[in-house]
Amino acid sequence: MTHTARLATPLTLARTGGALYLLIAVAGGFAIGYLPTILSVPGDAVATALTIADNMELARLGIFAEIMVLLAEIGLTAILYELLTPVSAFWARTAAWSRLLMVAIQGVNIALSGLALNLIGAATSPADVAETTDLLLRLRDTGVDLWGLFFAMHLAILGSLVFASGYLSKILGAAIALGSLGYLFDSLATLVLPGNDIVGLVAMVFLGVSMVGEIGFTFYLLIRGLDEKAYAAITA
């Protein structure tokens, strides 16, 4: 019983959340940030299909990484909800639902990627299924822009709760909340205002702020965890 209680302490939860954040950053950076630069040939569906066929093991590794992100996201969402409920149960719940909706879309994206890879792997020639797989991959890309909207909402609330908590970093909370605009404008730049240079520039600036906030928060949770005395005071 003592062992179970120790595993559930706020400090342990915070550090576990930091570890999950780090896993998401590494696996997500590989699958969503790096792999598309290797496997995708912009504007050429046939070349993309051929490239994927030539790097099938790498592409499947990317899907595995995305699955790890998906599972880590669920665990992290539960931890953040638990840690931030003392600040505001309503807004902690809203932040959790926003992130879970993002996760649901990510699950659909994984299914689209898996279907595209299976079609390419089973085809006599990857060029024969290039148009179909290109459509699937375009739908996946649209899904990324869509989950960015829910993630923007999550970050805005998360950052505000972290800032107001008194037991987590106010500076990082402010950076996370402000950085949420990066995901919002990035998604709008693609879904609503494609080719708008001003919106794209604003998105880049705030995405930079978000990156600083999220990376900082990751290591804050891993190293500092939280202020246990302040947490105990607010939950007393």
pLDDT 10s digits, 4-51: 445 569 999 999 999 999 999 999 999 988 998 999 999 899 999 999
The reported pTM is 0.91
How far apart, in whole angstroms, are the C-alpha atoms of residue 224 and residue 18?
10
How far apart, in whole angstroms, are the C-alpha atoms of residue 234 and residue 236?
6
- To which residue do tokens 């959340």 refer? 17
Residue type, 159: G
82 exposed, middle or buried (CB, 10 Å; 0-12, 13-18, 19+)?
A: middle
Stretches in the chain below the pLDDT threshold 70: 1-8
Q: How far is CA 87 from CA 17, 21, 60, 145, 159, in A?
A: 17, 21, 41, 30, 12
- Map residue 196 onto helix, strand or coil: coil
Q: What is the pLDDT of residue 3?
A: 41
Q: What is the pLDDT of residue 7?
A: 55
190 close to 198: Cβ distance less than 8 angstroms: no
How far apart, in whole angstroms, are the C-alpha atoms of residue 196 and residue 61?
34
Tokens, residue 2: 């003592």
